[in-house]
Amino acid sequence: MTHNTEYAIEVDNLTKRYGDLVAVNDISFTVRTGELFALLGPNGAGKTTTVEIIDTIRTPTSGKVTLLGMDVTKGKQAIVNRIGVLPQGFNSFDRITVRETLQYFSRLYSRRNSDIDSLIELVKLEDKAREQYRNLSGGLKQRLGIAIALVNDPEVVFLDEPTTGLDPRARREVWDVLHGLKQKGKTVFLTTHYMEEAELLADTVAIISKGTLIAKGTPAELIETTANFMVLTLQSVDGNVIEIIAQMGFKPVISNDNAIKTRVQHTDDVQKILSAIKDAGAFYQSLDVRKPNLEEVFLKLTGEALHDSHADGRGTT
């Protein structure tokens, strides 16, 4: 089948309703072939609904979704042979080893000659090949899940929150695997609610909030166009620094580590704040002025924090 190979995925005016709830509200975007695309948003934003419509599992209420040139509501059988899916909250057979699991899933796709060793190597589970699923840590389980999504050597891989609930080290190890997928030329569609992950891995980020796509671009573009401010951070402050800054008309906040953070528009503002602190005889140990990250872009766009509210036990640990 010939199609515009520039785009692996084309989503046009996609809407999904569950009764009165509009879970996905008229969203449109494209995913280029070979890119790592991150759909980023907080709990309940509509990420899984969107992914599972694109990967043929759910049906759209309206709109058109094309995957590898095929209409996802029509060419399901042809499509599933060419894609891989890691569902959110993935689980597998408890007492089956890593190797047996991959052999089994590969048989389901009639890929008798799947190169299981290469798959195991790709997700760095060489030392765990004989381990039963139930004995793997959360990060290793997710890596096995990614390997399962790859047994049919898919062109497009969908990974729904592959790192949620993992500790920072396990998360980094999954990121390494995702880098590997990109290097193999796969198109990767990732959902996440970790800004850092999207910023680090994605070629393109689309931010979804309450079913609506509110921004799209490279991480750098999003930061450049949306967040035209800088963040001044003052560490180890002494005296009424926060009041001094607030009195000048800024909106300082105290972060978790007791630093004071303030948005400023110009470097002149930094000068003014520092002078005012000095004049008042207050004190700080160190300072830092930097461009905002995607987290701050999200905050600015939605007024919502995008935080790890998944600490509700849903994720793997």
Ligand X SMILES: Nc1ncnc2c1ncn2[C@@H]1O[C@H](COP(=O)(O)OP(=O)(O)OP(=O)(O)O)[C@@H](O)[C@H]1O
Q: Which of 128, 186, 193, 216 binds ligand X (CB under 6 A)?
A: 193
Q: Which of 46, 138, 162, 165 binds ligand X (CB under 6 A)?
A: 46
Q: Identify which of residues 118 and 317 has a Cβ nearer to Mg ion in the complex.
A: 317
Per rule CB under 6 A, is residue 162 in the interface with ligand X?
no
Q: Identify which of residues 158 and 284 has a Cβ nearer to ligand X in the complex.
A: 158
Q: Identify which of residues 18 and 283 has a Cβ nearer to ligand X in the complex.
A: 18
Q: Tell which positions 57-96 bind ligand X, by CB under 6 A.
A: 88
Q: Which stretch binds ligand X (CB under 6 A): 36-44, 214-222, 226-234, 290-298?
A: 36-44
Per rule CB under 6 A, is residue 206 in the interface with ligand X?
no
Q: Identify which of residues 42 and 292 has a Cβ nearer to Mg ion in the complex.
A: 42
Q: Which stretch binds ligand X (CB under 6 A): 44-52, 118-126, 179-187, 195-203?
A: 44-52
Q: Tell which positions 96-135 bind ligand X, by CB under 6 A.
A: none
Question: Would you say 125 and 147 are in contact if contact means Cβ atoms under 8 Å apart?
Answer: yes
Tokens of 81: 């042979």
CA distance 139 to 141: 5
Task: Name the minimum Å distance from CB 52 to ligand X.
Answer: 8
CA dihedral 45, 47, 52, 54 (to 10 degrees): 120
The Cα-based distances of 215 to 17, 186, 223, 226 in angstroms read 22, 24, 11, 9
Q: Identify which of residues 56 and 152 has a Cβ nearer to ligand X in the complex.
A: 56
Residue number with the shortest CB distance to Mg ion?
48
Per rule CB under 6 A, is residue 44 in the interface with ligand X?
yes
CA distance 157 to 154: 7
Q: Which stretch binds ligand X (CB under 6 A): 38-46, 59-67, 70-78, 251-259?
A: 38-46
CA distance 110 to 100: 15
| Contact partner at residue 192 from Mg ion, ligand X, none, CB < 5 to 8 Å by partner kind | none
Q: Tell which positions 57-116 bind Mg ion, by CB under 5 A.
A: 88
| Contact partner at residue 43 from Mg ion, ligand X, none, CB < 5 to 8 Å by partner kind | ligand X
β-pair type (62-67, 7-18):
antiparallel
Helices (H), the chain: 47-54, 76-80, 98-108, 116-122, 138-149, 168-183, 195-201, 219-226, 241-247, 267-279, 294-302
The Cα-based distances of 135 to 90, 107, 121, 166, 190 in angstroms read 15, 23, 19, 16, 26
Residue by residue, DSSP assigns 129-150 as TTSBGGGS-HHHHHHHHHHHHT
Question: Would you say 260 and 242 are in contact if contact means Cβ atoms under 8 Å apart?
Answer: yes
Task: Name the minimum Å distance from CB 43 to ligand X.
Answer: 4
Residues lying near ligand X in the complex (CB under 6 A): 18, 21, 23, 41, 43-49, 88, 193
Residues lying near Mg ion in the complex (CB under 5 A): 47-48, 88
